[in-house]
Structure 1
Amino acid sequence: MKIQAAVTREKGREFSIEEVDLATPRDDEVIVRVVASGVCHTDLIVRDQYYPVPLPIVLGHEGSGVVERVGAQVRHVSPGDHVVLSYYFCGECRNCIVGARSYCLRLFACNFGGSRLDGSTTLSRGPEKLHSNFFSQSSWATRALVNARNVVKVRKDVPLELFGPLGCGVQTGAGAVLNSLEARPGSAIAVFGTGGVGLSAVMAAGIAGCLTIIAVDVNESRLALARDLGATHTLNPVTDDVVAGIQEITGGGAHYSIETTARPEVFRQAVDSLGLRGVCGLIGAAPMGTEATFDMNNILFGRTVRGIVSGDSIAETFIPQLIEFYLQGRFPLDKLVRYYNFDEVNEAARASERGEVVKAILRMPS
Structure 2
Amino acid sequence: MPRAETDVSTVGTAGSNATRTKTDAKGAETICPSNDPKHAVLLRFKNRTALSLGNAQTRLAYARVVPGLALRYGFLFHAVTATTLLHDRALTGAQVPQHDELHHLGQAAALLNHRLSTKIVAAERDAIWATSAYLCASTIFNISTTVRQHTWPLKSSNQSSLEWLTMQAGLRIVWQMTEMDRQDSAFSQIEPTTPPSSNCVHPTEPIPGINGILPILVTLCGLDKNSTGENNPYHTAASRLTTLLAVPGTPDNVLTFMVFAGGMKKEFRALLHKKDPRALLLLALWYSKLFHSMWWVVPRARLECQAICQYLGEMRVQERGFQQVLGVVRKASETLELTCVAELVDLLPRLPVEKKVANGPTSMKVEMFWDGY
Pairwise TM-score range, normalised by the shorter structure: under 0.3
Q: Which has the higher contact order (CA 8 A, sep 6+)?
A: 1
TM normalised by structure 2 equals 0.24
Q: Which has the larger radius of gyration?
A: 2
TM normalised by structure 1 equals 0.25
- Structure that is richer in helix per residue: 2
- Structure that is richer in strand per residue: 1
